[in-house]
Structure 1
Amino acid sequence: MHKNRLFVILAFMFLNCTAEAQTVKFGVKAGINFASVSAYDNPTNSTYQNKSYGNFRFGGIAEINWHKLAIQTELILDGKGGIDTYINPENSTNRRKNTRLCYLETPIVFLYKIPTKTGTLLFGGGPYAAYGISGKYSLSGIVFDSAIDGSNQVVFGNNENSDYKRTDYGLNLRAEIRLLHGIGFGINYEYGLRNIATPSVYDDIDIKTRNKVLGIAVSYLFNNH
């Protein structure tokens, strides 16, 4: 009951802010992510070596504007994942894993606006929530003295038969320069707060894993005037 009341209050506040806003704009965005999956809190003698790789991001934008402030939300397909090498001399394991994950993501970003001669500078941050819809990984190297080389589809879930948890959430920092005719060039950094690791054959149960993304994107807002 309390959660329902809180939701109604937040929805009313959002609608009230929208009604008082100067403008509500819509647009599209596309860009490149440099994603990585980083391990931490490693309780064993094993080591993780993480590398990022290029992935994609594209979707729609809705932006509520005031004089100096803006709230921007998106519904985007966000490519994450990364390349990691797992080395554990205790069980003769040295394997490389290349993971590509696709999430349906909604960030809510609070932005401060600074007018310039060529447009507007925006910077700020906020939370994001993401839902895993597809993924693929490839493995190569040696696991328990046995050579491996293959690929498979990612299984989302919360048990030992899963590869990663389906949902992710975290923080999003962003800076953007938007030109007068509505085209914007931005950079953002996503830091996952959820441990998306699940118990599996190749990973220690107590090792936690987070998504991290550095992205650049081009956006366009319709009716930007």
Structure 2
Amino acid sequence: MRTIALLLAMLFIGLMPASSQVSLGIRAGYTASNMHITGEAPGSFSVSGGSMETYHGWHVDLLLDVPLAPGLYLQPAFRYITKGTGLKDPTDHKGELSGIYIPRGNSLRLNYLEMPLSVVYKYPLGKGRITAGAGPYIAYGLNGRYSYNIVQDGRTVSRNSKDVQFTRKNNDNLAVLRMHPWDAGANFSIGYEFFSCLTLGANYSLGLTDNDRQELTSSKNRYMGISLGFLFSREDY
């Protein structure tokens, strides 16, 4: 974890002298996330018997805006973000054994430190510039919380939760939910930069790695974000 922060800090410092037009920015906003889950295994959060719902979270970014060529920029970012999914309880309980206690997932919240690296094209339009970008991202899981209900004959008996631990190590402790610490994928963005240095944007993140430690299931992060930001020290207008 410290190594990641150090490498990112070195990247930011190394890029700053590269051009007098490099700008530092901040950005924050709303995140609508979900997970693409396939397969089922006993003890997995994917065993909800229902469907996935949007998880409402937030994110905050520290970013650099580095000119590469006319209209073309490199934007590395340092992002704290909450991802996850909601798990909808099914309305049809046919086929369930009478009197049996069944765990049903309610929500999964995951906190990540994420690092997108986007190549962005900017085109003058109106009182600013429209932007479009794409690139990879990597993320490291910090912590999380899994909420679930115990159901009997379609009736909720109790509401429970347990911590999510991001670790490479296997453990049979049922009191925690373990997931792979690393997440990676592709990030796509569109936006608009005003001449006042304010920015408005949206992005879609497509996770490509399996985060679930269960062998019989696969879970991949997905989210859409809307952001409002500000770029400091603009010299390229």
TM-score tier by shorter-chain length is: 0.7 to 0.9
Q: 1:53-202 maps to which residues of 2 (within 5 A)?
A: 53-65=55-67, 66-85=69-88, 93=102, 95-142=104-151, 147-158=157-168, 159=170, 160-161=172-173, 162-199=177-214
**Residues 132 and 114 from structure 1, CA distance in 2 versus in 1: closer, same or farther, beyond 3 angstroms?**
same
Q: Counterparts of 1:90 and 1:196 in 2: how far apart (Å)?
A: 29
Q: CA deviation at 1:77?
A: 0.4
When the two structures are aligned, how many residues end up with a matched partner? 205
Q: TM-score, normalised by structure 1?
A: 0.79
1:26 is aligned to 24
Structure 1 stretches of 5 or more lacking a match?
A: 1-10, 200-204
Structure 2 stretches of 5 or more lacking a match?
A: 1-9
Q: CA deviation at 1:219?
A: 1.1
Match for 1:81: what amino acid?
G
CA contact (8 A) 2:96 2:153 kept: no
Q: Counterparts of 1:63 and 1:118 in 2: how far apart (Å)?
A: 19
Q: CA RMSD for the aligned pairs? A: 3.1
Q: TM-score, normalised by structure 2?
A: 0.75
Q: CA deviation at 1:94?
A: 6.1
Q: Counterparts of 2:120 and 2:152 in 1: how far apart (Å)?
A: 47
Q: Counterparts of 1:53 and 1:86 in 2: how far apart (Å)?
A: 15
Q: Percent identity?
A: 25
Question: What is the CA deviation profile of residues 5-48 of structure 1, one whole-angstrom value per residue up to 9, with x for unaligned ones?
Answer: xxxxxx9xxx79x84x572110101111001122025699x755
The answer to whether 1:210 aligns with 2:220 is: yes
Match for 1:212: what amino acid?
R
1:51 is aligned to 53
**Residues 144 and 169 from structure 1, CA distance in 2 versus in 1: closer, same or farther, beyond 3 angstroms?**
farther
Question: What is the CA deviation profile of residues 41-84 of structure 1, one whole-angstrom value per residue up to 9, with x for unaligned ones?
Answer: 5699x755111121010021111123110110111101101112
**Residues 64 and 144 from structure 1, CA distance in 2 versus in 1: closer, same or farther, beyond 3 angstroms?**
farther
